[in-house]
């Protein structure tokens, strides 16, 4: 029997995976696994929804504000975690894309929980079903325990990382407009993997 804390070793997505257009990285992150190892054990889940933020020329991207204290790590090297605080109470996590200093990223919007579900439930007591634990960018950060301490860490090397798992075929991917923004609202930069066999 496999112990409950056993986690299969899987290679991290390498830095060069992230050194491409954010839209391409967002599409290909679907099916990868977001893992966080902490004192509370390993938390993990499969990435099922992402959004691309293309850089300083994208009106909805935080890079338009320039390199400020808040956006500092958005301009970091590819494969960096950019974690920001929003609406006075929520954290969201991005994977930085393209070359060091460019300022584009992929927002991780939803994850299908795999491990550490008990810990997730403790952190998100309001989630009535397991499906509600990580189905939003701030929800998944709360469930994982991601906050400012993870801003700027490497998603290739650190306790918070993204590892290979599976690829999602095109016929299982829905592309649409980004959520919760007021500029460039019609740019098709949101990617969702349809959940096969999901119970409504």
Partner DNA sequence: ACGCGGATGGCCT
Partner DNA sequence: GGCCATCCGCGTA
Judged by CB under 7 A, which stretch of 6-14, 66-74, 168-176, 186-194 contacts DNA?
66-74
User: Which residue's CB is nearer to DNA, number 1 or number 89?
Assistant: 89
48, 61, 120, 153: which one binds DNA (CB under 7 A): 61
Q: How far apart are CA 130 and CA 124, in angstroms?
A: 10
Q: Which of residues 29-58 bind DNA (CB under 7 A)?
A: 51, 53
Tell me the residue length of the chain.
Answer: 200
Does residue 78 touch DNA according to CB under 7 A? no
Judged by CB under 7 A, which stretch of 112-120, 125-133, 155-163, 169-177 contacts DNA?
125-133
User: Under 8 Å CB-to-CB from 178, ≥6 apart: which residues?
Assistant: 51, 60, 184, 185, 187, 189, 190
For residue 26, what are its two tokens? 């967002």
Does residue 151 touch DNA according to CB under 7 A? no
| Distances from the Cα of 134 to the Cα of 9, 126, 139, angstroms | 23, 12, 5
User: Which residue's CB is nearer to DNA, number 6 or number 129?
Assistant: 129
End-to-end distance of the chain based on CA atoms, in angstroms?
A: 31
27, 73, 115, 139: which one binds DNA (CB under 7 A): 139
User: Under 8 Å CB-to-CB from 136, ≥6 apart: which residues?
Assistant: 109, 110
Q: List interacting residues with DNA (CB under 7 A).
A: 51, 53, 60-63, 65, 68-71, 74, 82, 85-90, 92, 94, 105, 107, 124, 126-127, 132, 136-139, 178-182
């Amino acid at each position: 029997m496999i112990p409950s804390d056993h986690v299969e070793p899987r290679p991290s997505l390498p830095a060069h995976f992230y050194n491409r257009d954010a839209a391409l990285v967002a599409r290909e992150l679907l099916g990868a696994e977001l893992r966080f190892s902490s004192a509370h054990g390993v938390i993990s889940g499969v990435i099922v929804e992402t959004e691309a933020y293309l850089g300083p020329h994208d009106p909805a991207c935080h890079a338009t504000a320039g390199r400020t204290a808040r956006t500092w790590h958005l301009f970091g090297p590819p494969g960096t975690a950019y974690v920001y605080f929003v609406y006075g109470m929520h954290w969201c996590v991005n994977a930085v894309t393209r070359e060091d200093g460019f300022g584009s990223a992929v927002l991780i919007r939803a994850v299908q929980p795999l491990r550490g579900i008990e810990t997730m439930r403790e952190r998100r007591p309001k989630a009535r079903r397991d499906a509600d634990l990580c189905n939003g960018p701030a929800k998944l950060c709360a469930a994982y325990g991601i906050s400012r301490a993870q801003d700027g860490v490497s998603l290739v090397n650190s306790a918070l990382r993204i590892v290979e798992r599976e690829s999602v075929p095109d016929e299982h991917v829905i592309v649409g407009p980004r959520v919760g923004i007021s500029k460039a609202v019609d740019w098709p930069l949101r990617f969702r993997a349809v959940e096969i066999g999901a119970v409504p």
